[in-house]
Every structure is written in structure tokens, then in C-alpha cells.
Structure 1
Amino acid sequence: MSTIRVVWGSASAPTAMASYDAALAEAGIENYNLVSVSSVIPAETPVEAVGTAPDLGPAGERLTVVEARATAAGPGRVSAALAWNQSVDDGPGLFYETAGETDREDVERRVREGLAAGQDLRDWEFTEPGVAVESHQADPGQYTSAVVLAVYGESDPIL
């Protein structure tokens, strides 16, 4: 079974896209085409918080992710958070994400509340949640991005 890796990064740059690309580079996934999915963890799939992704395949391939992302012009702070937990006995699980122009504490509180609401919708018994938060302050005249992503397995050819 493939592993889902939770990665994160933040960076500032002269444009919004450049700061996003640099944040993805800090997370180790700047060379992939990201395809977002909603938030369900397949049964019997381990989730590991690793910070920076290992080599997941050739550049240009498709990478399936759940993404929390915030970008803003400086001065200002952006934060992104991803929370997850799985049902007991290797059952399925959930990811919840949130991001914004706010501080670490606010996005962590909001992502925990969202995860709890998602749990209430399901008739599963859950393990303790994991949470990853990334936050970054932008200088005036710069853009800043913060990302936290759950990366499903390795890359796949896009063509």
C-alpha cells in the first residue's frame, strides 16, 4: 500500500506565483503537476508527516494532493493547516484543510473544528488527529505563500 505524506513549506518572492512555487520547493514538490482531491483517506493507507517530500518520480508527472494554501501581498501573514485522522482498525480517514491571512493559532483552531465536523458526519470511530501548520510573514513589496499538502503515493505520467 502506498503512503500519504504530509509536507509543508513557505516562502516570499516578488510575485504571488513565484512565492507559491518557492513554497512548493520548500515542501519538495515543485516539479510536479498537482491534482487536488477532496479529503478521504483510503482504508489501510498510512499517513506520515515528513515535512519535505522525497523523490516521488520524474519531473512533470501528476501528483495527487489535498492542499491547504494561502498567498498574500506583504506586509502580512499567511497560514495554512491540514488535519487528519483515520478510523480505528486501518479503516478510512479524513483530511481537512484551511488557510488564510491569519496566524497559526487561528488556522489550527479552524482546521480542528472542521475535522471534528467531518467526523460527526460519519459513523466511524476515529484515532487521535494529526495536524500540520505552516505560517509565514511577508515583507512589504513581497508576496508570501504557506502550503501544507497531503501527497498520495508517488507521481504518475500525465500523458
Structure 2
Amino acid sequence: MSTIRVVWGAASGPTAMASYDAALAEAGVENYNLVSVSSVIPAGAAVEAVGTAPDLGPAGERLTVVEARATTAEPGRVSAALAWSQSPDGGPGLFYETAGEMDREDVERRVREGLAAGQELRDWSFAEPRVALESRQADSGRHTTAVVLAVYGESKPIL
């Protein structure tokens, strides 16, 4: 089974899309077409928090991701978090994402609460949760984006 890498970044730019692209560059996934999926970790997958993605294949290919993303143009703090937990016996697991204009403590509390709620819906056993969090102070007059992504495996051709 492939590895799921958890990556993160935050950046500012003159537009919302420019700040998002720059945040993806910090995470190392700016050259891929991201395809979002819901939050189930397949049985047997290894999840590694790496910060910045290694080379995952040629530019323009498709990457499957679970993404937490927040963008603001207002002064304040923007945060994104991804929590996950897997079955200790190698079974499936779950990601939960949250993001917004909030401080680090609030986004971490919310992502942990969300993960716990998702775990209650499933008849699986879960190991201790892990959390990856990115937060950045937003300046007036610029857009700021924070992202945390779980990247499933390597890139695949889109055509």
C-alpha cells in the first residue's frame, strides 16, 4: 500500500488565488492538479507527517488529497488543521479537516472534536489521534492562505 503524506504551508499574496498557490508551494504540491476526496484512510496505508512533499511525479498530473484550507483578506489569524487516526491493527482510519479565521488553539480543538465525532460513527478501533496544523497572521491589504493536505501516494496522469 502507498504512503499518505501530510504536508502544510501558509503564504500571502495580492489575490486569494496567488496566496493559495504560494501556500501550496510551501507544501511542495503547487505543480499538481489536486483532486479532493472525503476523509477515509484505506486499510494498510501508512500516514507520515512530512511538512513538504517530495517529488511526486511530473508537473500537471493529478494528486488525490484531503485538504484543510482557509483564506482571508482581513487582518487577523488564518489557520488550517488536519487530524487523523488509524485502526491499530492496520485497518482503515479517518482524516478530519477544519480551517478558518481562528487561532491555533481553537482550530486544534475543533479538528479534534470533529475527528472524535467521525470516530463515533464507525465501528472501528482507533489509535491516538495526530494533528498537523498551519497558522499565519494575516496582514491588512493582502490575502493570506493556510493549508494542510493529506496527499495519497504519487501523482497520476490526468489525460
Q: Same fold (TM over 0.5)?
A: yes
Q: Which residue of 2 aligns with 1:35?
A: 35
Q: Which residue of 1 aligns with 2:65?
A: 65
2:13 equivalent to 1:13: yes
Q: Which residue of 1 aligns with 2:44?
A: 44
Q: Which residue of 2 aligns with 1:126?
A: 126
SS of 2:153's equivalent? strand
AA aligned to 1:110 is R
Q: Which residue of 2 aligns with 1:117?
A: 117
Q: Which residue of 2 aligns with 1:24?
A: 24
* CA-CA distance at 1:75 after TM superposition: 1.5
Q: Unaligned 5+ residue runs, structure 2?
A: none
Deviations 1:132-158 (A, max 9, x none): 010011111111000000000000000
Give the number of aligned pairs.
159
Runs of at least 4 residues of structure 1 off by over 3 A?
none
Q: Unaligned 5+ residue runs, structure 1?
A: none
Paired with 1:103 and 1:119, the residues of 2 have a C-alpha distance of 25
AA aligned to 1:104 is R
AA aligned to 2:33 is N
Relative to the length of structure 2, the TM-score reads 0.99
Q: Which residue of 1 aligns with 2:84?
A: 84
Q: Which residue of 2 aligns with 1:140?
A: 140
2:85 equivalent to 1:97: no
Aligned-CA RMSD value: 0.6
Paired with 1:125 and 1:3, the residues of 2 have a C-alpha distance of 21
Relative to the length of structure 1, the TM-score reads 0.99
Paired with 2:78 and 2:139, the residues of 1 have a C-alpha distance of 12
Paired with 2:19 and 2:120, the residues of 1 have a C-alpha distance of 36
Paired with 2:14 and 2:108, the residues of 1 have a C-alpha distance of 28
AA aligned to 1:22 is A
AA aligned to 1:113 is E
